[in-house]
Amino acid sequence: MATFCGSRYNNNELVNDKGIVMNQPKMTDVAKKAGVSPTTVSRVINRRGYLSTKTINKVEAAMRELNYRPNMVARQLQSQRTMTIGILVPTVANPFFGELTYKLERDFFNAGFKVLIGNAENDVEKERLYLQQLLARQVDGLVIATHNHQQQIPEYQNANLPIVSIDRYLRASIPNVSSDNYAGGRLATEELIARGAKHIIHTDSVERFNKRDYLRQQAYQDVMNEHGLTPVTYKIDFGSQPELMRQFFNRILDEHPEADGFFASNDMDAIQLLQTARQREIRVPEDLQVIGYDGVPTTTRIVPELSTIVQPLDEMAKVAVDILQREINGERVTGSHNLPVRLRASASLKQ
């Protein structure tokens, strides 16, 4: 269930239905239509200087309406490309973002770009500092995979540079690449039910500005309700210390001795539950079946018994790199690009 939405300029000659080449619109036509100066149009095209979102939208609407195609060669010369991309993640020390950064860098390298990285951690001010530096024309484009609340970061609203986000919403005109979180949540819950689980507990992150976990939880609730089962969701602060995590999972199992299935919105939580189950001598999968989410190769190599919903990181990196290159080349790309997930069934599920 992959959805691709994107508007792009026509790269062919403008030809009408009788095969006659029509007059190409000029930059001055766009300026007139948008009610701005040609200099402003040029700045929008070349993504230079600070422009209000309103101005950008007005100029882009006029360009679409007139099917105006900027002169690419001139644009490239003028834009002083750095052939450098900035990638912001919470931290490459997390295996998910380490794997994602590796794949993004590999694909950008093959496309001729260097990659600057920033570990914004969970620090709004650090993310803003990175953005203020990188938006000052030090990079040709940005990949944003951080987890801070975008409303606390005004730079995203004014950013006038090609951006693609991974798994988060920044603003309507910035394209977003995700795996299909709703489909993943459904798949996990349906598999647990199909293998006999009836009392399925779900855990997800307390972050609510990130739609990702919300969709996984929504899917879990929908499937449970469709089967006449009672959904039970616990919220976890992802950055918690190991000791707090142990207490948390023990509490879940204390409060729900009837639990025979468990769907965690990330693999670290699922692994913590597997450890807790082992300490309590609960048999997995006989008495408790477990599915996590993410499926990063390093993690499943360390814990091969973990069943999990595998995010297509290879594809996500590939699509993000493709979108950003198209944006850098002057196309306007928008929309959510949801890539299909798959189940990795292993020893934590019944056969």
Based on CB atoms, which residue is closest to a second copy, 272 or 289?
272
Q: Is-contact 70 42, C-beta < 8 A?
A: no
Based on CB atoms, which residue is closest to a second copy, 268 or 309?
268
* Nearest alpha-carbon partner for 43 in 26, 29, 55, 25: 55
- Counting Cα atoms < 13 Å in the Cβ hemisphere of 122 gives 6
Least distance between a second copy and beta carbon 278 (Å): 10
* Nearest alpha-carbon partner for 249 in 266, 260, 265, 236: 236
Least distance between a second copy and beta carbon 273 (Å): 12
| DSSP codes of every residue in 285-307 | TTT-EEEEEE--HHHHHHSTT-E
Based on CB atoms, which residue is closest to a second copy, 54 or 283?
283
Based on CB atoms, which residue is closest to a second copy, 187 or 236?
236
Least distance between a second copy and beta carbon 137 (Å): 13
Q: Is-contact 186 341, C-beta < 8 A?
A: no
Least distance between a second copy and beta carbon 204 (Å): 19
Least distance between a second copy and beta carbon 205 (Å): 16
Q: Are strands 342-344 and 307-310 parallel, antiparallel or unpaired?
A: antiparallel
The binding site for a second copy (CB under 8 A) comprises 84, 91-95, 97-99, 101-103, 105-106, 109, 114-119, 126, 133, 138, 242, 268, 271, 275, 297-299, 301-304
Alpha helix (H) ranges present in the chain? 27-34, 38-46, 53-66, 72-79, 95-110, 124-135, 155-158, 181-194, 211-226, 242-255, 267-279, 297-302, 313-328
Least distance between a second copy and beta carbon 101 (Å): 5
Based on CB atoms, which residue is closest to a second copy, 6 or 98?
98
